[in-house]
């Protein structure tokens, strides 16, 4: 995919603010700090359109980025961030759940996990939840640049096994630093956004 146009459209706090042109949407979920915003930036070749931070919990709204006038990336708030209150966490949960269950133009959910470590309990619950509701999911194992190439396959296997991944769901090993996995991920996204 040759991205010629990418713009931030809106930070939504509820369905009334979701964009209305009916373009397909690719959402990104994962733990706080796993690299969701960085992945968007890498996919569209922009340094900092999606705001990234070494401080977890930065993205707290649904952020819509319009790509080539063809599709949206929807950056969801990260889960599993310890330093927020329980009520706040529950609110985020409801908010994300509402989007994931009710948004009919959601075509694919990219579930980001940290390639370096086995997926967490939160990651496993998220994957289970998505499959339970038949939401198409692509697992993206990020920060691969931090693992020696000789160990990539071992880590991929660990992610697949810990999530009990279905064979039909794709897994992409990714790095926002090196661009590893970028073309593969674009190909998967295009399969899901073509009409």
Q: Which parts of this chain interact with ligand GTP (CB under 6 A)?
A: 30, 32-38, 52-54, 56-59, 78, 142-143, 145-146, 175-177
* Shortest Cβ 38–Mg ion spacing (Å): 8
Q: Which is nearer to ligand GTP, 54 or 168 (CB)?
A: 54
Cα gap 38→106, rounded to integer Å: 21
Sheet with 137-142, side-by-side order of all strands = 6-12, 62-67, 71-75, 25-30, 106-114, 137-142, 171-173
In the complex, which residue's CB is closest to ligand GTP?
78
Q: Which is nearer to ligand GTP, 107 or 182 (CB)?
A: 182
Q: Give the Cα-Cα-Cα angle 128, 129, 133 (nearest 5 degrees).
A: 115
The binder of 157, among Mg ion, ligand GTP, none, by C-beta within 5 to 8 A per type, is none
Q: Which is nearer to Mg ion, 59 or 142 (CB)?
A: 59
Tell which residue, 147, 193, 168, 194, has the closest CA to residue 26. Answer: 193
* Shortest Cβ 80–ligand GTP spacing (Å): 9
Provide the CA 26 distance to its chain's centre, in angstroms: 8
User: Which residues of this chain interact with Mg ion, rule CB under 5 A?
Assistant: 36-37, 59
* Shortest Cβ 35–ligand GTP spacing (Å): 3
Cα gap 68→125, rounded to integer Å: 33
* Shortest Cβ 72–ligand GTP spacing (Å): 16
């Amino acid at each position: 995919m040759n991205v010629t146009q990418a713009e931030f459209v809106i930070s939504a706090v509820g369905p009334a603010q979701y964009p209305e042109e009916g373009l397909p949407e690719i959402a990104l979920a994962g733990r706080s700090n796993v690299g969701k915003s960085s992945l968007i930036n890498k996919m569209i070749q922009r340094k900092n359109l999606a705001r990234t931070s070494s401080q977890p919990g930065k993205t707290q709204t649904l952020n819509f980025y319009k790509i080539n006038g063809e599709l949206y990336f929807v950056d969801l708030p990260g889960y599993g961030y310890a330093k927020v209150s329980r009520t706040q966490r529950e609110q985020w949960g409801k908010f994300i759940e509402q989007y994931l269950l009710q948004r009919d133009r959601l075509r694919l959910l990219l579930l980001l996990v940290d390639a370096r470590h086995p997926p967490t309990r939160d990651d496993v619950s998220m994957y289970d939840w998505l499959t339970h509701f038949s939401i198409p999911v692509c697992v993206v194992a990020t920060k691969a640049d931090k693992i020696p190439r000789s160990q990539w396959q071992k880590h991929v296997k660990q992610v697949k096994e810990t999530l009990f991944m279905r064979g039909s769901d794709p897994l992409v090993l990714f790095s926002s630093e090196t661009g590893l996995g970028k073309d593969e991920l674009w190909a998967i996204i295009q399969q899901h956004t073509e009409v």
